[in-house]
């Protein structure tokens, strides 16, 4: 079996890369956890404006990445997706981190 190649070195696009991850993993394309800021998840991740409203500080960026990485330094109750679901795949996590590092562009 060949390893999966993940290209997160170029410009990561919100529309082409990030939004599909949010739709597939965070319930933003239906009435699930993060469809809007008042949904069960407590923060909206369904569109660029909601994402930017949530990721307003470097501390929020770090917390967000820890939750999607299922980082053991935080409570497992904060993990996204919630357990027992597995964490988001590594390629998607790399793209999320690259998008944040590049300034969270609306592209």
Residue 39 lies in a domain: no
- Give the count of domains, the chain: 1
pLDDT in tens, the chain (107 residues): 445 568 766 789 999 999 999 888 876 666 567 766 666 666 778 889 989 988 999 999 999 999 999 999 999 999 988 889 899 999 999 999 999 999 999 99
Q: Could you give the 3-state DSSP secondary structure of residue 44? A: coil
Contact 23, 44 (CB under 8 A): no
Residue 20 lies in a domain: yes
Residue 63 lies in a domain: yes
State residue 14's pLDDT score.
95
**How far from the centroid of its chain's Cα atoms is residue 91's Cα?**
12
Residue 8, CA distances (Å) to 14, 21, 99, 100 in order: 12, 13, 9, 12
Residue 68 lies in a domain: yes
Residue 7 lies in a domain: no
E-only strand ranges, the chain: none
Tokens 């933003």 belong to residue: 28
State residue 38's pLDDT score.
66
Q: What global pTM score does this model have?
A: 0.84
Residue 18 lies in a domain: yes
Residue 76 lies in a domain: yes
The boundaries of the domain holding residue 70 are 14-26+53-101
Residue 62 lies in a domain: yes
């Amino acid at each position: 079996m060949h390893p999966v190649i993940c290209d997160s070195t170029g410009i990561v696009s919100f529309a082409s890369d990030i939004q599909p991850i949010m739709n597939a993993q965070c319930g933003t394309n239906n009435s699930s956890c993060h469809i809007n800021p008042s949904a069960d998840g407590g923060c909206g991740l369904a569109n660029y404006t909601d994402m930017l409203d949530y990721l307003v500080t470097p501390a929020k960026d770090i917390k967000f990445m820890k939750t999607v990485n299922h980082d053991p330094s935080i409570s497992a109750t904060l993990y996204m997706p919630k357990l027992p679901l597995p964490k988001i795949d590594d390629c998607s996590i790399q793209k999320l981190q690259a998008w944040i590092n590049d300034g969270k562009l609306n592209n």
